[in-house]
Amino acid sequence: MDSKKQLVLNKGSEKFIFRYSPGHEGQLLDALVSAATDRQTSFDWFDAAVLSFKLTQSLIHEADELLYRDLIDPMQTYLQNE
């Protein structure tokens, strides 16, 4: 099953939804650039930056979950290794 993810931006009465598959974040960034350069929408570079930041935060959170999922107490493990 290919689980899709999405980034959503509400801007006034408009809603911009970008769906992507895990591992295709680069294509998502390309889509944000395309949307920001499209003069037919109100989606701009600031909006692209906001969604890029959201994507980065999401990826950091996922990486943290992968790194620490098998540890009972990550901070205690870290302190023991010093």
Specify the pTM: 0.76
* Amino acid symbol at 67: L
- Residue-range domain boundaries for the chain: 5-80
- How far is residue 67's CA from residue 73's CA, in Å, rounded to a whole number? 12
**DSSP code string of 22-80:** TT-HHHHHHHHHHHHH-TTSS--HHHHHHHHHHHHHHHHHHHHHHHHTT-S-HHHHHHH
What tens digit of pLDDT does each residue of 16-64 get?
999 999 999 999 999 999 999 999 999 999 999 999 999 999 999 988 8
